[in-house]
Structure 1
Amino acid sequence: MGDIQMDDIEIVQKILNGEKQFYELIVRRFNPVLYRIGRAYNLCHEDTQDVMQESFVDAYRGLGGFRNESSFKTWISRIMINRCFHHFQKNRVTDGLMISINDNNEVMRKDSENEADKGVMQRELANMLEDSMSRIPLEYRMVFILREVNGMNTDETAELLDITPGNVKVRLNRSKALLRKEIEKSFDEQALFEFHLRYCDEIVNNVMRLINLKSLL
């Protein structure tokens, strides 16, 4: 099922009406969003996928509680952040250097190498950015990821992190100030922490299998 042109609320209503196959659209639509959040929490690729699956199942189970008081992206992102926090606490993950995409994801490396010079440039920019971001505390890094990479606006980010819009702006400016000027000018935000289609299919299949095993709604 492709990501047909329906808004999130329409899809949610169809699922609540018993058409659970439409949940595949939700998973595909928000795979990249949740993946970037997991990586911002310093989780490796494999752990991020595990937490994403748990988050999607949680979201499906709690779908009837979505009141459309905030955007669906904000709602499901909050579920992912809560899951990441619990994983972080459970495994005592330290907020140290961010895991290198290239060192921990051989498939992504192969995909990039197929693009020759462009792939080399993207890897270099990603490495430079990660070196700089490794010195940024989590509260600044999360604001940067949510605003600049996941495309959330100031109010959505403030609601999700339970801070004021003013604090969002301050933290975003602070995070940018900590990045090297040349990286800030040249790197491709959307290439950072990219979630490739092959992983999307895997997550979709796993989540749909899990929600079909038993009635969660």
Structure 2
Amino acid sequence: MKTEETYTDKELIDKVLHKETAIFELIIRRYNPYLYRIGRMYNFNHEDTQDLMQEVYIEVFTHLEQFEGRSSFRTWISKIMLNRCYRKTQKWYSKHMESIEQNNQVIENLHNTETSKLVMNRELNSVIEKSLLNIPEEYRTAFTLREVTGLSVQETAAVLEISENNVKVRVNRAKAYLRKEIEKFYVKEDIFEFNLIYCDAMVSRVMNKIKEI
């Protein structure tokens, strides 16, 4: 009998498409760390990131037959997560922009609230994470996908829809921003880790939703 690690993505997908719904749990467990890091990269807190992950898994499950294998499954699911994060960011911006423009105090309050959250959130207490969240988004995104999540240059280029050379440029610029911190503290496996406890909870959440479909 095969273990979780020995199944390829294609084998798992084929099984799910052939009504072995329970197998989807293995896909969730395999991709929890990747999606979680992307959500945190966008500066969403732990709870919002989990909500986004659940939405992505449901979308993937209900549209799994649309995956044609032209790119890796990791590229495909990462791109869905990135799009979800982007839409949520834009939705928030559109909703709050009018009030922000009317009252500059809102900006100050927002800054104070977000700062408090960062201080209180133990998962963002390392210098690396704080520095990463402060660099320009296009560099942060490329760096996280390539160096933290572990996508190849080709996969990162496919997710971001840019050239491979552009990926390398963005990653190098991100490293320039982070060089001092990286040299002292950088351990990429520790950045934005999705704890096993959270992994089990995410599996339960998604699989319960799938049962309702």
Q: TM-score range by the shorter chain?
A: 0.7 to 0.9
Asked if residue 149 in structure 1 is aligned to residue 166 in structure 2, the reply is no
Secondary structure at 1:179 match in 2: helix
CA distance in 2, matches of 1:140, 1:31: 22
Check conservation: 1:100, 1:127, Cα contact below 8 A.
no
CA RMSD of aligned residues (A): 2.3
**Larger Rg belongs to:** 2
In the TM superposition, what whole-angstrom CA distance separates every residue of 1:42-86 from its partner, at most 9, and x where no partner exists?
111100000000000000011000111111100011111111111
Number of the residue aligned with 2:198:
199
8 Å CA contact 1:43–1:99 kept in 2: the answer is no
Report if aligned partners of 1:34, 1:52 keep a CA contact under 8 Å in 2: yes
Superposed, 1:171-190 pairs within 5 Å as: 171-190=170-189
Residue 120 (structure 2) pairs with residue 103 (structure 1): yes
Other-structure match for 1:138: 137
Residue 182 (structure 1) shift: 4.5
What secondary structure is seen at the aligned counterpart in 1 of 2:4? coil
CA distance in 1, matches of 2:27, 2:71: 16
Verify the 8 A CA contact 1:44 1:99 in the aligned structure 2. no
Look up the SS of the partner of 1:132 in the other structure: helix
- Could you tell me the percent identity over the aligned residues? 47
Please state how far the C-alpha of 1:129 moved relative to its aligned partner.
1.3
Deviations 1:126-155 (A, max 9, x none): 521134224311100001100111111111
The range that moved more, 133-142 or 44-53, is 133-142
| 5+ residue gaps, structure 1 | 109-122
For residues 2-43 of structure 1, give each alpha carbon's deviation from its aligned partner in whole angstroms, at most 9, with x where no partner exists: 734200000000000110000000000000000000001111
1:41 paired residue number: 42
Question: Does structure 2 retain, via aligned residues, the 8 Å contact 1:38–1:84?
Answer: yes
1:63-78 aligned within 5 A: 63-78=64-79
Report what 1:211 is aligned to: 210
Change (3 A) 1:4 1:158: closer
Match of 2:128 in 1: 129
User: Given the superposition, is the C-alpha separation of residues 207 and 101 from structure 1 closer, same or farther in structure 2, using an over 3 Å criterion?
Assistant: farther
User: In 1, Cα distance between the equivalents of 2:56 and 2:90?
Assistant: 16
CA shift, 1:185, in A, is: 4.8
Contact 1:53–1:207 (Cα < 8 Å) also in 2? yes
CA contact (8 A) 2:41 2:144 kept: yes
Q: Is the 8 A contact 1:140 1:172 kept in 2?
A: yes
- Give how far 1:102 is off: 7.0
Deviation at 1:104, TM superposition (A): 2.5
Name the structure where helix makes up a greater proportion of residues. Answer: 2
What's the TM-score once normalised by structure 1's chain length? 0.82
Aligned pairs for 1:53-72 within 5 A:
53-72=54-73
Match of 1:114 in 2: none
Q: Report if the CA contact (8 A) 1:141-1:175 is conserved.
A: yes
Say if 2:127 and 2:185, in contact at 8 Å, map to a contact too: no
Cα distance change of structure 1 residues 88 and 134 upon mapping to structure 2, 3 Å threshold: same
Return the offset for 1:100: 6.8
What aligned pairs does 1:110-121 form with structure 2 within 5 A after superposition?
none
Q: How many residues are matched? A: 194
Give the distance between the partners of 1:6 and 1:101, measured in 2 at CA.
38
